[in-house]
Structure 1
């Protein structure tokens, strides 16, 4: 089962986002306060009263610092995000997934794998440097570094989106030949659609778990009840 993450870091601490072997994709962030319970231990009630507190720059700040990296550390502090509610003890929430990046040399087969559902974000068949997939290739086949098949994303998305796995050939027969005489490669960036979210409270280095339905997934009452039941069982397994 694929798990996506919401990282919660209390004010004054460091958020540490990790995507081992993949890259971070930030979907949203908020530095402020949305309830009276999160990051509330040892805090006077006066610091927890304001629950409509949000730094408008949160997502941009985190995205600029973390997108495309394997790991990222960012301080949950007024010096980074500003102070959207003076006197309130705040926390930083970051909603992110880990994105796969694959490179497949021409005439080889790309093999995309997911525990859940493939979502293609970017694809390009061509060449953009002289080093990628250059082994044993003569220099004359590596010189054109402004080579790109415009149909790349459409072809990959049509073949792979919505599947658990997908195999596709990095070849001219599939993508056309955007640069004759050049040895090409296929780059694909993709994520796996998430079903359950883990929430981690960094202050105490302990984890607690929540189930969140994605807003863009419309479900009937019976489906929601079943997923809530599945999530509770998932949470219990993680905690035990």
Structure 2
């Protein structure tokens, strides 16, 4: 129903990093990361100009890459990153690596609440909330930036590891829900940065108990 897309970025240098662009701008939807690989599984991808020894190892992968990208991108319309975000260690020294991300665009309702305010999630009667993704942090310099000093909006790699779980646990299955976009509720993942809560959710039909029988 929703076609899967792929974006690949070769390992960049410190001077000229390569930024892939994942987005659902024309789909009126949000990103849902399905899979990710940082390493190498073939000799063709990102091989131009590289000696054979740097592309020979095709069993190279960094653990946890998909979890990092899901935290960073799920529920957003646009997500920019480079391979640095998943490079926690070198999974295979001497091999020239790349980051491959597979994602799908899902239609969803998006809500943004600046730090110190409240996000309101609600559905029509007979429907309940299902959270696709939530992040408390900052991924650009424009959202919730009005009258904020440059020092408070310059960190665009600010993301909370717990915000998605907190919002989902509080809101999933409810007809309406409010979440405070505060450090006390969602944790301060980057001190000194003015943050915002971004939530993507859908409204699902709530079926009365027993409608389809007592057994599944």
More helix by share: 1
Computing the radius of gyration from Cα coordinates, the structure with the larger value is 1
TM-score (norm 1): 0.44
TM-score (norm 2): 0.49
